[in-house]
Copies of this chain bind each other. A is one copy, B any other.
Amino acid sequence: MDYRDKNIIITGGLGFIGSNLAIRTVGLGADVTIVDPSIEGCGASLENIQPVRDRIRLLPLDIGQAGEFAGAIAEADVIFNLAGEISHLHSMEFPERDLEINTTSQLRFLNVCKSENPKARIVFAGTRQIYGVPEYLPVDESHPINPVDFNGIHKYAATMYHLMLSRAGFLDAVVLRLTNVYGPRMALHVPSQGFLSTFLRKLTIGESLEIYGDGEQLRDPVFVEDVVDAFLLAGSEPRLRSRTYNVGGPEALSLAEIARICSSAAGAPAPSRRPFPEVLKAIDIGSYYTDTALIERELGWKPAIRLAEGIAMTLAYCRKQPVA
């Protein structure tokens, strides 16, 4: 994993995962270019890259405007493609906006990558959402695709662009399908970024947590530094063209247990319970946790940080931030 003097592009690099990746790759000696138009609702913040602000190049452009930074694309060794919006609920309210951000812009971007630099390794941030309601657990990469919202459909179209163009020899892309990611620089003050964002936001402003229903659904949250490791491996291993890997956490925990761990780490009271809201029922997927055997076998990646430890680090980071 030698990133020294490598030309790296990070799309969505002002967002949660992208900014952590930017900080790490700068530390490894890479020349980092961030492409991020700071679209509202996507979690972008200049604050996120504050530690490396003067050592990266920031292009405040949408990836759909890739023609305007074709030169940077032509010189890239690795492109970490994290641009996009992740909100389930927002996508159901504004599906055309979600299509534009998550599909149309990706199509335009990849067409420029294809013509300017077909040999650059692209690592695309996919999502476990596309599996929908799990038909079995843990969920591996062969699980049927059944998105439960527009966001999942549009992310999956972008995933297929990467894979189809790579299989046909026009790109060299790898797709990571991420489960619930948490950690420093998470967008706590943007609506509908997932339950962990809600939990941490409440705890940082002194509210106690609520669990909907019985809270027995399982999840396997993964700490952002573990996810950054997966991106770095996927960005540097040869011969991965058109491979897909699930990326998940080290433990399958119930939402109630996750809420208890978060509350305890924050010194907050135990979570309370309330009925499941109707609006969320339609897109609830029950239990989900990840089969990470493939990425462990092929890339030697394993999540290292357990939830209690990761949440403590996240809360410590959040406490040092100005309250939005």
Contacts and interface: CB of A to CB of B under 8 A. Distances in A.
Interface of A: 95-96, 99, 103-104, 107-108, 111, 142, 144-150, 152-154, 156-157, 160-161, 163-164, 167-169, 282-283
User: A148, A150, A153: which has the most chain B beta carbons within 10 Å?
Assistant: A153
A271 to B, nearest CB: 28
Nearest to A96: B107
A153 B148 contact: no
A243 to B, nearest CB: 13
Contacts of A161: 150, 153
Contacts of A169: 282
26 contacts: A95-B107, A95-B111, A96-B104, A96-B107, A96-B108, A99-B103, A99-B107, A103-B103, A103-B157, A104-B104, A146-B163, A146-B164, A147-B160, A147-B164, A148-B167, A149-B164, A150-B161, A153-B157, A153-B160, A153-B161, A154-B157, A156-B157, A156-B160, A157-B157, A168-B282, A169-B282
Nearest to A167: B148
Given A99-B103, A153-B160, 10 more contacts: A96-B104, A96-B107, A99-B104, A103-B157, A145-B145, A146-B163, A148-B168, A150-B164, A153-B157, A153-B164
A121 B169 CA distance: 41
Contacts of A146: 163-164
Contacts of A142: 144
Contacts of A150: 107, 161, 164
Contacts of A145: 145, 160
A223 to B, nearest CB: 31
Contacts of A107: 95-96, 99, 150
Contacts of A156: 157, 160
Contacts of A154: 157
A149 to B, nearest CB: 7
Can you list the 5 inter-chain pairs with the closest CB atoms, starting with the nearest? A153-B160, A157-B157, A168-B282, A153-B157, A147-B164
Nearest to A161: B153
Contacts of A103: 99, 103, 157
Contacts of A149: 164
A144 B163 CA distance: 14
